[in-house]
């Protein structure tokens, strides 16, 4: 049977909310005549979440469950869910009832009938304390500027994807925040946004702390680097290394020529090795050589990588 929509729900210690979320999703899909599957990914919960998932699977055959032996993070949970999703449209949402399943039909329509590759939710009105909203807005502004993707809420858990998108990307580390950027680098450029209803947390507590901002920023730099220079690291390291080497070498030659000129004109001079500028130039030369070698080694590694000729095919005739 063809599945219209796959709903992936990563979770960690959310046993209280799962039955209510399940019934809500089922009601919405049935009311809109959507064939569906729900993929629960238990990210190493220490409560009874897995038992609840097992009970839901026995109650409703549309449920699938994955349980990690320990906590690996949301990116790992989403990646496993993506690998198992069969729906033409894939929707992700958090398990804490802060994402509204009533948004599913509209998200499905935007992907299936309006031609979007990816639609990200935007929690325009949030029910969170300022300690979460202010850093989030700052983080989103920086990401929007660096990525060139005009989204207001990169970290919203409620997103919809064309099936081709989730089968073409790999999510790891803390990169679930940057799935729109991963999709863009993979060639999926029709990325949209939808204002979604954000609800106050009903059970439990947030599993994310302030450290996610630091990890998120580092992962953003990683994605930007891999996207631009992952296949050609020499273009970055080689260019910077060559520039550094030439600047250091040029300054050194200038110091030597200056000394020879002053000797020829019988004016006072200082030995080259007595000048601080010489050691700065020498450092630039050394750094330039190291950067060039780093780019060269990166090219050798890339040449022998099994994915060196792995490309995403859009269509064939």
pLDDT tens-digit map of 167-199: 998 888 778 888 998 899 888 999 999 999 887
Q: Provide the pLDDT for residue 164.
A: 94
Q: Name residues of the chain where pLDDT drops below 50.
A: none
Q: Provide the pLDDT for residue 218.
A: 74
Residues 132 and 30 in one domain: yes
Q: Of the candidates 67, 24, 23, 61, which has an alpha carbon nearest to the alpha carbon of residue 48?
A: 67
Token pair 């906590």 is found at: 71
The whole-angstrom separation of Cα 213 and Cα 155 is: 11
Among 200, 229, 258, the domain boundary falls at: 229
Q: Provide the pLDDT for residue 245.
A: 94
Q: Would you say residue 217 lies in a domain?
A: yes
Q: Provide the pLDDT for residue 307.
A: 61
Among 229, 247, 271, the domain boundary falls at: 229
Residues 124 and 211 in one domain: yes
Q: Would you say residue 317 lies in a domain?
A: no
Residues 10 and 158 in one domain: yes
Q: Of the candidates 5, 118, 120, 95, which has an alpha carbon nearest to the alpha carbon of residue 42?
A: 95
Q: Would you say residue 312 lies in a domain?
A: no
Q: Containing domain of residue 81, as a range? A: 5-229
Residues 264 and 182 in one domain: no
Residues 66 and 101 in one domain: yes
Residues 66 and 166 in one domain: yes
Q: Provide the pLDDT for residue 263.
A: 87
Residues 243 and 214 in one domain: no
Q: Provide the pLDDT for residue 22.
A: 96
Q: Provide the pLDDT for residue 268.
A: 84
Q: Would you say residue 104 lies in a domain?
A: yes
Residues 280 and 187 in one domain: no
Residues 182 and 281 in one domain: no
CATH code for the domain of 50: 3.90.550.10
Among 205, 229, 253, the domain boundary falls at: 229
C-beta neighbour count of 12 within 10 angstroms: 22
Residues 89 and 200 in one domain: yes
How large is the angle between the packed helices 49-59 and 18-31, nearest 10 degrees?
Answer: 30
- Count of the separate structural domains present in the chain: 2
Residues 118 and 265 in one domain: no
Q: Provide the pLDDT for residue 77.
A: 93
Residues 162 and 264 in one domain: no
Q: Would you say residue 314 lies in a domain?
A: no
């Amino acid at each position: 049977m063809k599945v219209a929509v796959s709903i992936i729900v990563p979770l960690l210690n959310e046993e209280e909310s799962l039955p209510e979320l399940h019934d809500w999703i089922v009601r919405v899909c049935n009311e809109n005549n959507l064939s569906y599957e729900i993929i629960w990914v238990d990210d190493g919960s220490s409560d009874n979440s897995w038992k609840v998932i097992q009970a839901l699977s026995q109650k409703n055959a549309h449920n699938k469950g994955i349980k990690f032996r320990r906590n690996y993070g949301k990116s790992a949970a989403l990646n496993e869910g993506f690998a198992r999703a069969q729906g033409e449209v894939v929707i992700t949402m958090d398990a804490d009832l802060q994402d509204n399943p009533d948004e599913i039909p509209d998200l499905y329509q935007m992907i299936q009938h309006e031609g979007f590759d990816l639609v990200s939710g935007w929690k325009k009105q949030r029910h969170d304390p300022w300690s979460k909203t202010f850093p989030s807005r700052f983080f989103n502004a920086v990401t929007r500027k660096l990525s060139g993707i005009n989204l207001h809420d990169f970290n919203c858990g409620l997103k919809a994807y064309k099936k081709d998108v989730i089968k073409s990307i790999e999510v790891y580390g803390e990169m679930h925040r940057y799935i729109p950027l991963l999709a863009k680098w993979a060639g999926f450029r029709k990325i949209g946004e939808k204002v979604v209803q954000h609800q106050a947390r009903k059970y439990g507590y947030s599993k994310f702390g302030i450290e996610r901002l630091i990890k998120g920023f580092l992962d953003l730099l990683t994605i930007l680097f891999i996207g631009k220079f992952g296949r050609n690291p020499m273009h970055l390291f080689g260019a910077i290394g060559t520039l550094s080497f030439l600047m250091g070498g040029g300054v050194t030659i200038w110091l030597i020529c200056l000394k020879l000129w002053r000797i020829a004109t019988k004016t006072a001079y200082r030995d080259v090795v007595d000048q601080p500028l010489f050691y700065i130039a020498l450092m630039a030369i050394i750094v330039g050589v190291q950067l060039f070698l780093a780019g060269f080694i990166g090219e050798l590694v890339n040449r022998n990588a099994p994915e060196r000729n792995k490309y995403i095919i859009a269509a064939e005739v």
